[in-house]
Amino acid sequence: MTGELRPADHGENPVPRGELRVSYEDRDRVAEELRVAAGDGRLTAEELDERLEVALTARTYAELASVTRDLPSAAGGAPAPKDLVRIESQSSVVERTGPWLVPRRMEVRVKSGVVTLDFTEAVITQRVLPIEADVGSGVLRLVIKPGIVVDMDEVSVRSGSLEVRAPWGQDASVLRIQVSGRVGSGVITARPRQSPRPPRPPRRTFWQWLTRQPRPRPAIGR
């Protein structure tokens, strides 16, 4: 019959796996592998951004394989986030910065030191992070970015303070940090990374002040 459509014969001409179309789940799985690899120090922040862009727009399995070919995750050897990470500071300074791998749960004890958890470049593989905090007279500092929300409703405070600054609103599309525990006379803060202050203009000499000359402008681009 003229114009009749016949089903494709997959037995004679099978489509190579590399040319098969991927699903949303496939893209998300590879994106998570890339984030874990970055958290393990195998990828720089720039490499992670480039490969995530390819992974999240990939159409075939061959395109997905191109971004994980040189990673142990391609053989199933990528480390998974730890279930629990404990941090204790007596009077020292402890920092988690850069592309560190965020665990599923954290316990932080600060006696009189400072603990900083910077999430701006962290590798995040889940939507909720419970943090149990015990802050004496020290400081627990959370550095956040758009898409991260911090909830401190379950923290009891004796004489210290809690502070949350999120000027972009309550968008928990990346991570919700749920802080519980207690604060003695210390502080728990959650705020964006502070931008460097602009340079102060040079001071006028006495003669410039006396003759009411305008204040010299700071040099730009030096």
pLDDT of residue 78: 47
- Bridge partners, residue 150, by sequence: 177
Interval 90-108: pLDDT, tens: 999 999 998 788 999 999 9
Condensed to tens digits (0 to 9), the pLDDT of residues 194-216 reads: 765 555 666 666 666 667 777 66
pLDDT of 77 over the 70 cut:
no
Q: Residue 86: is its pLDDT beyond 70? A: yes
Return d(Cα 176, Cα 14) in angstroms, integer.
Answer: 45
Count of other CB atoms within 10 angstroms of residue 161: 11
Q: Encode pLDDT of 109-141 as tens digits.
A: 999 999 999 999 888 888 899 999 999 999 999
Predicted pLDDT of residue 15: 66
Mean pLDDT on 70-88? 74
pTM above 0.85, yes or no: no
Residue 1 confidence (pLDDT): 46
pLDDT at residue 173 above 90? Answer: no
DSSP 205-216: PHHHHHTTPPPP
* Domain regions of the chain by residue span: 17-75, 85-192
| Residue 45 predicted with pLDDT over 60 | yes
> What mean pLDDT is predicted for residues 172-184?
93
Structure confidence at residue 81 (pLDDT): 81
pLDDT of residue 50: 92
pLDDT digits (tens, 9 = 90+) for 142-169: 999 998 999 999 999 999 999 999 888 8
Average pLDDT over residues 57-73: 85
User: Long-range contacts: 168-174, Cβ < 8 Å, 24+?
Assistant: 171/146, 171/147, 172/127, 172/147, 172/148, 173/147, 174/124, 174/145, 174/146, 174/147, 174/148
Mean pLDDT for the stretch of residues 52-69 = 89
Rounded mean pLDDT, 51-77: 81
pLDDT score recorded for residue 143:
97
What is the C-alpha to C-alpha distance for residues 74 and 121, in angstroms, rounded to an integer?
23
Q: Which whole number is the average pLDDT over 85-89?
A: 95
